[in-house]
Amino acid sequence: MAAPNGNAARSARPSSKPPIREFDLTGTSADLPDPTRHAYRKDLADVALAGRVIASHYAAPVARELRRDAPLRSEPDCDAELVIQLAAGDAFDLLDNRGGWVWGYAGPDRRVGYVKEEALV
C-alpha cells in the first residue's frame, strides 16, 4: 500500500544489523607477549590479552590454591619440561581444565603452565 505522498510505507522496526566496531588489523605481531608469563594458546587466552593476541576463545582466570607441592609443567604431561616447583598454598589462576590437567598462572612469579588437577584445592 502506498503512503499518501506516493512513497512506500516504511517499517518502524529497528535495523537488525549489529553496530560496526572499528579496530586496526595490522598483521602478525612482531612482539608477542612472553608465553612463559602471559597465558595464551591458539585455542585459548587470558581475557586480559584480548587485542594483543589472537585466540579462538578468551577466559578470565579463576583463583585457586595448591593443596600440596606440585610441579608446573610446560605441557600436560608428567614427562614435560619442569617450569617451576610449586609449594602448597601457592596461588593458581586457572584458565583451562581438561584431561586431569589445569592450565594457567602459578606461583609467586605467575609462571604459565600445567599442573595435575588433583593438586588444587
> Which pLDDT tens digits describe the chain residue by residue (121 residues)?
555 555 555 555 556 766 666 655 565 556 889 999 999 999 999 999 998 999 999 999 999 999 999 999 999 999 999 999 999 999 999 999 999 999 999 988 999 999 999 999 8
pLDDT value for 15: 60
- Enumerate long-range contacts of 99-103, CB under 8 Å, 24 or more apart: 101/76, 102/64, 103/39, 103/44, 103/76
In the chain, the amino acid numbered 9 is A
Domains located in the chain, CATH noted: 60-119 (2.30.30.40)
Cα–Cα distance for residue pair 88/120, rounded to 1 Å: 9
- Enumerate long-range contacts of 4-13, CB under 8 Å, 24 or more apart: none
pLDDT value for 31: 82
Q: Is the pTM of this model over 0.85?
A: no
